[in-house]
């Protein structure tokens, strides 16, 4: 029997390598051993990746999520919105993101990623003007350029000309 930290490390490595079923199994084992909820967003994303968005949504509503720090809460919000999109529930995906702190004054990467996901979901819902505004908002605080928000905004502006 492996210890939780080893299971966690193997799970995170499997996740990074795109081996989602293996990552899910390892992270579930780690959670069983130590009861930690920190793995929930990755586990939910693994469920999405293996085609089980309904289960990802159930995990997103786990009681422990309420106590997450803002970055972890944002991560779970992104997974939940993605699962809604997987299920064709575009309005529910937008509502999920709209309930998040999109207008946070923080410039941390989790805010950038929330704004970017919101812009992308608006675009997928056919709301190009709104999407453009949110790609600009994401880019405005994306000093590390973790997204292609600037390019996406440029593309939308060219389309509008």
Query: Would you say the pTM of this structure is higher than 0.85?
Result: yes
SS3 at position 66? helix
Residue 1: per-residue pLDDT: 55
Spatial separation of the C-alpha atoms in residues 122 and 29, rounded to whole Å:
37
147 band by pLDDT with thresholds 50, 70 and 90:
very high
> For 41-96, what is each residue's pLDDT tens digit?
999 999 999 999 999 999 999 998 989 999 999 999 999 999 999 999 999 999 99
Exposure string over 110-137, b if 16+ CB within 10 A, otherwise e: bbbbbbbbbbbbbbeeebeebbbebbbb
Range 5-13 average pLDDT: 95
Residue 161: per-residue pLDDT: 82
Which of 122, 64, 66 lies closest to 97, judged by CA?
A: 122
Spatial separation of the C-alpha atoms in residues 27 and 24, rounded to whole Å:
5
Which of 155, 156, 150, 137 lies closest to 97, judged by CA?
A: 137
Range 13-27 average pLDDT: 97
Residue 25: per-residue pLDDT: 96
Which strand (E) or helix (H) includes residue 71?
helix 70-86
């Amino acid at each position: 029997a492996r210890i939780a930290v080893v299971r966690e490390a193997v799970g995170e490595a499997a996740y990074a390598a795109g081996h989602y079923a293996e990552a899910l199994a390892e992270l579930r084992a780690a959670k069983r051993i130590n009861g930690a909820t920190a793995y929930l967003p990755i586990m939910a994303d693994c469920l999405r990746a293996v085609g089980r968005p309904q289960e990802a949504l159930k995990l997103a509503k786990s009681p422990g999520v309420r106590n997450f720090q803002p970055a972890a809460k944002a991560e779970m919000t992104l997974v939940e919105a993605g699962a809604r999109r997987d299920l064709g529930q575009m309005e529910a995906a937008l509502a999920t993101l709209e309930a998040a702190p999109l207008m946070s004054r923080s410039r941390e990467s989790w805010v950038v990623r929330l704004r970017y996901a919101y812009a992308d979901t608006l675009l997928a819902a056919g709301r190009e003007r709104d999407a453009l505004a949110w790609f600009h908002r994401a880019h405005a605080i994306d000093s590390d350029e973790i997204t292609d928000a600037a390019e996406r905004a440029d593309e939308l502006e060219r389309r509008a000309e």
